[in-house]
Amino acid sequence: MADYNAMEMMICSAARELEDGSTVGVGTGAPCAAAMLAQKTGSSNLTIMFEAGGIAPQLPEMPISVGDSRTTWKAVMASGMCEIMETACRGMLDYTFLGGAQIDMYGNLNSTRIGDDHQKPKVRFPGSGGANDFGSFAWRMMVMTPQDAKRFVERVSYITTPGWLEGGDSRAKSGLPLNAGPYKIITNMAVMDFEPESKRMRIISINHGYSEKDVLDNCGFELLKAPRIIETSPPTDEELRILRDEVDPLKLVIGR
């Protein structure tokens, strides 16, 4: 088995979700690395969109911000934030990758504050940026994050980005697009999806080196379980070569 770290595992798992011909809205860091890896390993027609306006670039190397000039290298268009968000609103964004300080069992994300007092929180974070727009309108929202009970909480302190809200059909009733919402949660320990009726998070595969108990113990709420839980396929030698040599040779992301 190839030698790899947790970040490489998450990036390779995420890249496999991005099929050829689809569109994905990404920021920098691990989501960008996953999109680049997908482009180089079978999804050459993947359209990558950056919040600041780059559409379908052929990324020469890892950009350091969503406004980096590399995000428009050989791109179809160098547009702006309004055009990207309007594209999402029109239903033309298949996937997006988001993150936050907290996530709950329905995939709601908090990147605003910790604590009940909005004016004087225990911790204040940067807030939404474009995450609310992407999370509201992209057909499939994915999250890449380390897993621990402080991050995976029963109830987020603040809903910055809507997941399945309170589960069931609550998201659709809110007026958000039908059948659009959280899709996969990719952590250092496992991959989760959402049970179709309740919309609660459930384990579908566990990464090599971890047990079901590890996953459950590092979550602040009760995780559901798929009828058949498998072992997540580890990165292949070829995926690791491309990731290390072509996507992130300076180890800006995989070196974390």
Condensed to tens digits (0 to 9), the pLDDT of residues 231-247 reads 999 999 999 999 999 99
Work out the mean pLDDT of the chain and round it to a whole number: 95
Encoded tokens for 2: 């190839």
Average pLDDT over residues 102-115: 97
d(CA 4, CA 31): 18
Average pLDDT over residues 65-72: 91
Encoded tokens for 97: 């990758």
Q: Tell how strand 77-78 and strand 140-144 pair up.
A: unpaired
Q: Which domains does the chain have, with CATH numbers?
A: 1-84+233-256 (3.40.1080.10), 94-232 (3.40.1080.10)
Q: What is the DSSP string of 79-105?
A: --HHHHHHHHHTT---EEEE--SEE-T
Which residue of the set 17, 51, 83, 239 is catalytic?
A: 51
Q: What pLDDT, on the 0 to 100 scale, is given for residue 86?
A: 94
152 with 190: CB under 8 angstroms? no
- Asked if the model's pLDDT at residue 129 lies above 90, the reply is no
51 catalytic residue (yes or no): yes
pLDDT per residue as tens digits for the range 28-51: 899 999 999 999 998 999 999 999
Average pLDDT over residues 75-100: 94
Q: What pLDDT, on the 0 to 100 scale, is given for residue 244?
A: 97
Average pLDDT over residues 57-67: 89
**pLDDT bucket at 102, cuts 50 / 70 / 90:** very high
Return the bridge partners of 142, or none.
97, 184
Return the H-helix or E-strand segment holding 170: helix 170-173
